[in-house]
Amino acid sequence: MSVYDFSAKTIMGEDKALSDYKGDVLLIVNTASKCGFTPQYKALQALYEKYHNDGLEILGFPSNQFMNQEPGSNEAIQDFCQLNYGVTFPMFSKVDIKGPDAHPLFQYLTEQAPGFLSKQIKWNFTKFLIDRNGTVLNRYAPTTRPGQIEPDLQDVLKR
């Protein structure tokens, strides 16, 4: 099993098979628009622009599970990301990322890369690095800034 076995709805409501990203390095991030970590969108977009032509895809999954920090509609989220941070990487529809209704992708990610003390995602902007074969390589805490992940990205992109 790999991340390629899952699909999700894009922020525009279209079904998207993650197998469409076979051969790419993925950074999957749960996001929110009203979080102290929201400015990470800018750094994520910078990574995307720098490494997209080398095979990096950043996939944003908004979630409203942490203190109601993503209350808007998918359209409002899309507008916010584009207007405030110039986000051009793929964004997906708002999903649950923890608990009994967690999206199956996030159930899989947290099984493959459990966090510190528990598998459950504890806050917005948790990041998962996936290699070109769909294997989960690492999980990064929300406090890990996107730039701190860059050496790992460079390494995986060379493979």
Radius of gyration of the chain (CA): 14
Q: Which of 2, 9, 10, 35 is catalytic?
A: 35
Q: Annotated catalytic, 81?
A: no
SS3 118: coil
SS3 138: strand
> What is the distance between the alpha carbons of residues 116 and 98, in angstroms, rounded to a whole number?
15
> What is the distance between the alpha carbons of residues 121 and 16, in angstroms, rounded to a whole number?
23
| DSSP H/E element including 57 | strand 56-62
- Residues designated catalytic: 35
